[in-house]
């Protein structure tokens, strides 16, 4: 799909199948639409929105026939936020595409907000259009695949805005491409994406983006004594991989290190999960996929940063060779861990990954993981849990969350919680018992860091169980927009 930015003077708005505009809830004067639409049509729309009993709920879509085109109006809240703009724009473009329109125009000036500026708004709108139109359908026959839009025009009243908008569209689409790259990885069935293939996909992306990459296989991990990832993978016929990517000037200090959980399928191991819903456990590598997406975005945007990305990848399966409850394993850091539950495997991979990150002496580290069901219980599916050892790092992530729409909520990581992961036979155990499961999992990870660090639990946000305003069911690619915004802001 092609996105164009034009002014009203040069626009080919009459060649479009449909026109999309935003109408703020409660707004009676729609005179600004006369720059784009006929006087008669504007009066009809104004009359409808001012009549008693008209539906004015946020994100409602109403259609009007006029001048050989269909006008789709989406209702914005009284004081639209940037996220309201994202939801309204993405939701409407997806709806219009489903109505078999192929060439649409978006009246960009009608999607106004007090937050940000013109470029922020246009960037966000371009970003969510690609996110909303995304479909994962490589396994479907061609006749079941939905046809996409051919063109989408952003129309502006002021021609001076067009140049700024073009750059904003380019940035927004670059970010969304990386999010969708991440979603493709997460949506791919586990038989098509074992650790070895995930590493191959990472290598291909790194080559395309001029990113350095090193992949450690099982023998190398044994030499490195990475006992966490080795223990998790030993029940599977699929060998583990430790994927390490580096972008930026290697002569400069590492600004950011990102570590992502890469469990390509999680059966729970010996502590096997219930069969109901187990098919979704292909998404247990969403944190690792997000790290790949973040590195891709940084390279595509040519960000002036030095980044390391680490993805410990393994498959957690039950077999005669699998690690067991009661086992004691030695992590790469040299710490001993008593395994009480083999379904608490992600923290074992991350422990090794976080320890490896220390080699690069990063200024700050962020890990991402679909780590705990407790996070879903505590926060549901609309917000990411953040915990860490440095208030400044957490504040940066919070601010980026508000700007990107991938919001976060901080949970405490007080030393009191350490008592729950003390072991009678080793230094620590891999579960902390009932209560505070998200916190005790983060407390486990904290034992492997010696730098400013934050942990993002994306268990509730990495997968959408139902359609959302600009996401279909399935992988969301959460974390890419959030941490890209954090890097760009810094």
Contact by Cβ (8 Å): 351, 388: no
Q: Which of 27, 273, 335, 407 is catalytic?
A: 273
Give the angle 4-21-39 at the CA atoms, nearest 5°: 105
The answer for residues whose C-beta is within 8 angstroms of residue 108's C-beta and 6 or more apart is 5, 121, 122, 125, 154, 155, 156, 161, 165
Residues 121-135, buried b or exposed e (16+ Cβ, 10 A)?
Answer: bbbbbbbbbbbbbbe
Sequence-distant (6+) residues with CB within 8 A of 416 are: none
Please state the φ and ψ torsions of residue 181, each to the nearest 5 degrees. Answer: -60, -45
Residues paired with residue 429 on neighbouring β-strands, in sequence order: 338
> Angle 217-223-225 (CA atoms, 0-180°, nearest 5)?
100
> Which of 76, 79, 77, 156 shows the shortest CA–CA distance to 118?
156
Is 363 an active-site residue? no
Q: Within 13 Å of residue 379, how many CA atoms lie on the same side as its CB?
A: 24
Beta strands in 199-304 (DSSP E): 212-216, 241-247, 256-260, 262-266
CA separation for the pair 53, 381 (Å, rounded): 33
Q: Which of 94, 57, 95, 96 is nearest to 75 (CA)?
A: 57
Contact present, 216 and 174 (Cβ < 8 Å) = no
Annotation marks residue 201 as catalytic: no
CA gap 229, 225 in Å, rounded:
10
E strand or H helix that includes residue 126:
helix 118-133
Question: Please, are residues 260 and 366 in contact by the beta-carbon 8 Å criterion?
Answer: no
Could you say which of 121, 300, 347, 481 is catalytic?
347
| Active site amino acids | 273, 347
């Amino acid at each position: 799909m092609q996105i164009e930015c034009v002014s009203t003077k040069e626009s080919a708005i009459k060649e479009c199948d449909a026109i999309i505009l935003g109408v703020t809830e409660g707004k009676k004067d729609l005179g600004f639409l006369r720059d784009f639409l006929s006087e008669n049509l504007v009066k009809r729309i104004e009359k409808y929105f001012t009549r008693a009993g008209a539906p004015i709920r946020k994100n409602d879509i109403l259609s009007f026939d006029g001048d050989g085109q269909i006008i789709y109006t989406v209702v914005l809240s009284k004081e639209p936020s940037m996220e309201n703009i994202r939801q309204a724009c993405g939701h409407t473009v997806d709806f219009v595409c489903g109505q078999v329109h192929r060439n649409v125009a978006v009246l960009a000036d009608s999607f106004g907000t007090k937050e940000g500026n013109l470029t922020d708004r246009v960037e966000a709108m371009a970003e969510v259009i690609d996110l909303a139109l995304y479909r994962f359908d490589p396994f479907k026959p061609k006749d079941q695949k939905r046809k996409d839009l051919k063109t989408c025009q952003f129309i502006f009243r002021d021609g001076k805005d067009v140049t700024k908008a073009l750059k904003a569209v380019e940035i927004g689409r670059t970010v969304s491409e990386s999010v969708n790259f991440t979603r493709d990885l997460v949506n791919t069935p586990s038989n098509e994406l074992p650790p070895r293939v995930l590493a191959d996909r990472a290598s291909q992306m790194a080559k395309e983006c001029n990113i350095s990459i090193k992949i450690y296989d099982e023998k190398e991990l044994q030499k490195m004594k990475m006992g966490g990832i080795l223990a998790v993978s030993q029940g599977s016929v699929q060998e583990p991989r430790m994927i390490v990517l580096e972008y930026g000037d290697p002569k400069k200090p590492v600004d950011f290190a990102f570590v992502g959980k890469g469990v390509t399928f999680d059966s729970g191991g010996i502590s096997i999960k219930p069969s109901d819903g187990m098919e979704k456990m292909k998404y247990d590598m969403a944190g690792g996929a997000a790290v790949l997406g973040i590195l891709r975005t940084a390279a595509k945007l040519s960000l002036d940063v030095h980044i390391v990305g680490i993805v410990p990848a393994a498959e957690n399966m039950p077999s005669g060779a699998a690690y067991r409850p009661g086992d004691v394993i030695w992590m790469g850091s040299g710490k001993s861990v008593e395994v009480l539950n083999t379904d608490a495997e992600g923290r074992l991979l991350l422990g090794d990954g976080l320890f490896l990150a220390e080699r690069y002496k990063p200024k700050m580290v962020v890990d991402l993981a679909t780590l705990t069901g407790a996070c879903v219980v505590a926060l549901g599916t609309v917000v990411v849990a953040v915990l860490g050892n440095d208030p400044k790092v957490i504040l940066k992530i919070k601010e980026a969350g508000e700007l990107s729409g991938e919001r976060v909520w901080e949970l405490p990581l007080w030393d009191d919680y350490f008592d729950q992961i003390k072991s009678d036979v080793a230094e620590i155990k891999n579960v902390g018992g009932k209560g505070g499961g998200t916190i005790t999992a983060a407390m486990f990870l904290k034992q492997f860091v010696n730098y400013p660090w934050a942990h993002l639990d994306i268990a509730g946000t990495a997968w959408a169980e139902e359609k959302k305003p600009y996401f279909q069911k399935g992988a969301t690619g959460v974390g890419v927009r959030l941490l890209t915004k954090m890097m760009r802001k810094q």
